Amino acid sequence: MFNARAYSATSSTSPLASTTIARRDPTENDVQIEILFCGICHSDLHTVRNEWAAVMPTVYPCVPGHEIVGRVTKVGSAVTGFKPGDLAGVGCLVDSDGTCPACKEGLEQFCPGMTLTYNSPDKHTGGVTYGGYSDSIVVDQRFALHIPANLDLAAAAPLLCAGITTYSPMHHWGVGAGKKVGIVGLGGLGHMGVKFAHAMGAHTVVFTTSPSKVEDAIRLGADEVVISRDAAQMQKHANSFDFILDCVSADHDINAYIQLLGRDGNMTLVGAPEKPLSLSSFGLIFGRKSVSGSPIGGLKETQEMLDFCGEHNITSDVEVIAIQQVNEAYERLLKADVKYRFSIDMASLKS
């Protein structure tokens, strides 16, 4: 075991503060990574404040962070895909059972025995896993990812969650040239959805309640922008979409978007509203439409996403902060006061 610098929360009401945590020494299959940047995901805030207690109660101290980019410092004797000095990333998972049907299909995100990057039982230490608000992490080589060298590292960090969360359903539902794709909500997830849909060659339409976001949506790659509160604008697109990605985590009327799907169209939810959404079955029946949900992707698909980003020079729009600003960043996140993700410069841990 060795000590690592980190920021942790000791309770649901305490601020994140500087601490020291124990990391395991690399085993023969492990990669040790010096963390350079870590993105801030809304899940971090929910977990730190124990807002998912009914489903995933938080164990304290909690070190969040699952959008990790860094440089390999050590590798175990059996590691073949990485060497010291390589760029590497870690997303939302650091282990799975490797034997279940999901794992065998490369869908580790659906493994019943998966281990999350933080706040999951840690078989190596007997405690819980600690995430990327730290200066280093040790993971099995299967869960380390190659980061394209041409990408800005601070802006690449959110690809490990926000990126794969939006890429995976688009990949699954066949988004590409000749398809009409809608993106609902222009935030941390939505802005990545726009970039991916555009790069995949789809006709991309952004739905937003904010007229002030029209210019930014076009900059990010949207072909059209619809103000969703305008019934006339919405009606103009009725029954015309092949796919809609819903990135909204607040309460909203999904039936208004189901009406915009064409025959056999799909709407996938990646936002997670706190309360159940009301769904009219008639909107689905007439048109054989479907509504689905999607989490992150598996490791193979996540690497494909990163390679796609390298090829198309896609990264997240980020505001880089020092770790000492993380509590302020959480408060700003609650107000949607960021375009579009925070990325923590982990060099600031040395301050």
pLDDT (tens digit per residue) in 9-52: 999 999 999 999 999 999 999 999 999 999 999 999 999 999 99
Q: How far apart are CA 181 and CA 167, in angstroms?
A: 13
Asked if residue 145 and residue 167 are part of one domain, the reply reads no
Q: State residue 274's pLDDT score.
A: 79
φ and ψ of 194, to 5 deg: -65, -45
Q: State residue 275's pLDDT score.
A: 85
Asked if residue 142 and residue 7 are part of one domain, the reply reads yes
CA angle (162 as vertex; 297, 63 as ends), nearest 5: 95
pTM for the full predicted model: 0.96
Answer yes or no: are the C-beta atoms of 22 and 1 closer than 8 Å: yes
Answer yes or no: are the C-beta atoms of 163 and 316 closer than 8 Å: yes
Please tell me the total count of domains within the chain.
Answer: 2
Asked if residue 149 and residue 251 are part of one domain, the reply reads no
Q: State residue 351's pLDDT score.
A: 82
The partner residues of 93 in beta bridges, in order of sequence, read: 116
- For the stretch 154-177, pLDDT in tens is 999 999 999 999 999 999 999 999
Domain-located, residue 310: no
For residue 154, the surrounding DSSP H or E stretch is helix 153-156
Domain-located, residue 120: yes
- For the stretch 224-259, pLDDT in tens is 999 999 999 999 999 999 999 999 998 999 999 999
CATH number at residue 193: 3.40.50.720
- The 8-class DSSP code of residue 220 comes to H
Domain-located, residue 13: yes
Q: Which domain holds residue 257?
A: 163-293
Domain-located, residue 308: no
Domain-located, residue 299: no
Asked if residue 117 and residue 12 are part of one domain, the reply reads yes
CATH number at residue 328: 3.90.180.10
Q: 3-state class of 350 per DSSP?
A: helix
Angle between the 190-199 and 162-172 helix axes, to the nearest 10 degrees?
50
User: Which regions of the chain are under pLDDT 70?
Assistant: none
Asked if residue 150 and residue 116 are part of one domain, the reply reads yes
Asked if residue 183 and residue 36 are part of one domain, the reply reads no
Q: State residue 272's pLDDT score.
A: 84
Closest CA relative to residue 175, chosen from 261, 243, 239: 243
Domain-located, residue 128: yes
CA–centroid distance for 259 within its chain: 28
CA-based torsion, 95, 307, 41, 73: positive or negative: positive
Asked if residue 104 and residue 134 are part of one domain, the reply reads yes
